[in-house]
Structure formats: structure tokens, C-alpha cells
Amino acid sequence: MTRAHRLMIRCRRWGPSLSLTMVLAAACAGDGDDGSGGACMIGQPVACTCPDGSASTQPCLASGTLGPCTCSDATGGTQTEGDTQTTDPSGDTTAGGSCGNGVEDPGECTTGDPAYCPQDCEGDDTTTGPGECTDDGPIYATLVPSVASRWESGALVGFAAGQALCRETAMAEGVPEGGLVTVCDYVQVLQAELAGELAAVPMGTTAWLHRTTLADVMGVPSEPGVGGRCAEWSTVANDLADGEYVEFLGGGMVSYVLDDDTFYDGVDTTHTQPGTLECGTQMRAILCCHPSCTP
């Protein structure tokens, strides 16, 4: 049985009036559910947020309910969202339990801080200027079509070349702040799909998937690694690394082809899946996203 698995998300499309934060909290949940145990599509990952503010995914269990958010602890191990959160009597789970009290406590207005609490910063009269990140706008920006697994741009090779290609394409297309766009991460692709931003991508398009977070593959957490990113997009060989990717099914639907073995040491050839996740024979798009304020 192959180690690669196709995972498709078929969540409801949320209206533009809902914030992305609410979309993630309620992803695949039924009406009136808080998203922690609502109905979802069995075997499909759903985006979630770890206690430290980083993005990850949570599995849809055989019961049709969402499992815990899969996160990495400080030692590199795996933990679920409930391992580190504390809850005060009001039900608040942010650091210190002070989020939402209307008082700006330390860290609550610092983007990326575990205590970040934007509702306590509503009275702040500061505005976001050019070049500053914001999570209020669109996630997906554009794509670079038909790129080999070895990304190249001028003298650049690998991920840095992908960044350059995204920015060159975005600026050529007149995308706002095009010089700041980045290669989309796996979680950003999940978020963009849930927000309905990928409907314009032509059916049949495939794109390399740059995954740097844990992902659920048939109920088993799969660590990210360069062995699933074609050696950080620097090789066209098929015997040392795999290349995860997505396929667009039309109407904004996305199929995720993920690798449950992303080991890579540049020598061992027993961790690849030629014919399924191969790097060298494929030409795929690179997805480009607006930068996120979440680290």
C-alpha cells in the first residue's frame, strides 16, 4: 500500500463577512458547534492553531468529529492542543487568562506573541502602513506556472528562487504589495481554500506543496521535512526525496497528496515513492501567498 494519500477538504464555503479566525475555529463544524467536536469529513485535515500561535492541522476522526490539534513541543516532540493551555473560570485559554478584559496586558498587542489578543487593542489608534503584515486581507496572491522541482531564478536555487519567482510574478501582474508575497505554506493553502480564494485556479492544475508543519496522514502525524520538499526544491532526482503537491479539482476544491515519510539524508534511497511523489519528471505551479503576521 502506497505511503502517499490524497486528502480532500470539502468544508462549507463561509461568507466574506466572517473573519478568517472564525473560519478556522469553525472549519467543517456543524451549525452552532464550536469547532472542537463538530462534524467533518473523515480522514481529511482541518487547519487549527497551536497554543504557541503557530498553525497546524487536526484530523477528522472515524466518529466524524475533529481530533486534537497536532502541535510540536519545545523539545521537538508531538503534543495536542490541550497539553499546554490553561483555562480560567471565564473559559479563556490565552496566556494569563486576560484576553477580552478590555485591558492591554503585556504581549496582547504584539503580533506573534502567545498572549496576542486583538480585541484588547481595539482602542489603539495605530494603523497598518505599507509593507506591514496584516491577516485581514486575502491569503492567496497568484501562482507561477510550470516549474520543475528544482526551483531556479537567476543565480538563486531552491526555496529562495521560489520566493523570487513569486515576487516577480506578483509584481508583473500588479498584485498589491507584490514584492512582499511568499511561497504559500501548506497551512496557508488550507486557509485559502476554506476562504474560497482558490476557485479561479483552473481545474487540473497541480502545484508543489511547501509543508513546514505537522500534517495528519490517515490518522498518523507526518513530520515536515526536506524529504517531502524535493530536498528544499533543489533536486530533480527521484531516488533521494519526494515532492508533496496539490491538485485543483475545480470550483475551489483541492486534493492534497502528502508524504508520511519525509526523511532525507542525501544518501538513503529507501524513503522515496517514485511514480507517486516523484520530483524529477514533473512540472508544477508554485503557489504564492501574502505574508502572514502569524510566525
Interatomic CA distance for residues 122 and 117, integer angstroms? 10
**pLDDT digits over 173-183, tens only?**
999 999 999 99
* Range 283-294 average pLDDT: 89
- Report the percentage of the chain scoring pLDDT > 90: 40
Contact, 255 vs 246, CB < 8 A? Answer: yes
Q: How far is CA 207 from CA 29, 70, 132, 291, in A?
A: 28, 24, 28, 19
Q: What is the pLDDT of residue 86?
A: 38
Q: Is residue 6 part of a domain?
A: no
Q: What is the pLDDT of residue 195?
A: 94
More confident residue, 237 or 83: 237
Interatomic CA distance for residues 179 and 195, integer angstroms? 23
Interatomic CA distance for residues 81 and 62, integer angstroms? 19
In sequence order, the β-bridge partners of residue 143 are: 287
pLDDT at 28 over 50: no
**The domain containing residue 210 runs over which residues?**
140-289
Q: Is residue 235 part of a domain?
A: yes
The number of folded domains in the chain is: 1
Q: Is residue 81 part of a domain?
A: no
What's the chain's average pLDDT?
Answer: 75
User: Which grid cell is 231?
Assistant: 530536498
Interatomic CA distance for residues 189 and 7, integer angstroms? 13
Q: Is residue 83 part of a domain?
A: no
**pLDDT digits over 54-74, tens only?**
777 877 776 777 778 877 654
- Report the percentage of the chain scoring pLDDT > 70: 66
Q: 92 falls in which pLDDT band (50, 70, 90)?
A: very low
Q: Is residue 89 part of a domain?
A: no
**pTM given for the model:** 0.59
Q: What is the pLDDT of residue 270?
A: 78
Q: What is the pLDDT of residue 40?
A: 72
Q: Which long-range contacts (C-beta less than 8 Å, at least 24 apart) are formed by 152-160?
A: 157/234, 158/232, 158/233, 158/234, 159/183, 159/210, 159/232, 159/233
The helix (run of H) or strand (run of E) holding residue 78 is: strand 78-80
Q: Is residue 244 part of a domain?
A: yes
Residue 243, phi then psi, degrees to nearest 5: -130, 105
Q: Is residue 63 part of a domain?
A: no
pLDDT at 134 over 60: no
DSSP 210: B
Q: Is residue 163 part of a domain?
A: yes
Least confident range from 138-142, 274-278, 280-284: namely: 274-278
Q: What is the pLDDT of residue 141?
A: 97
DSSP 225: -
Interatomic CA distance for residues 282 and 5, integer angstroms? 18
